[in-house]
Amino acid sequence: MGDRILKQGQGWRLGWKTENNAYPGLIGGEDWAIELTAAEFADFCRLFEQLATTMNQMAAELMEEERIACEAETELLWLEVEGFPHAYSLRVILNQGRRCEGNWPAEVVNDLYRESQKLYTF
């Protein structure tokens, strides 16, 4: 049996199983979860990083009351952030196979982002 990592906080969950498994990754919210393939999990973490960087860079370009939506996509999944550069929600849709969808409110996205970057170090 391989190692299992499960990180969770208020309104979010992330997980990874190192054992040989078709769906080693896990993303989830308060009352939902989706298991991901290794490629889907890698895309999720990479696109989340890109969108978080974009939102951080947009802070200097927008007025304080301006909201923005940005999206990024691979053939495996689609991500969208929406809100203010300092507080935005995140939405994910799987593009193939299971066709799942999930979202996180702005209050939890910073913690989710921080942990996604720590967890995806393999």
Is 101 a domain residue? yes
Phi first, then psi: what are they for 59, rounded to 5°? -55, -35
pTM confidence score: 0.91
Distance CA 22, CA 84 (A): 36
73's tokens:
């996509």
What pLDDT was estimated at residue 112?
96
Expressed as residue numbers, the domain containing 51 is: 37-119
What pLDDT was estimated at residue 25?
94
What is the CA angle 5-2-118, rounded to 5? 30
Phi first, then psi: what are they for 58, rounded to 5°? -70, -20
Number of domains the chain is built from: 1
Is 21 a domain residue? no
Q: Which residue has the tokens 């996604």?
A: 116
Residues of the chain below pLDDT 50: 1, 122
Phi first, then psi: what are they for 70, rounded to 5°? -135, 145
CATH of the domain at 62: 2.30.31.10
Is 4 a domain residue? no
6, 81 Cβ separation under 8 angstroms: no
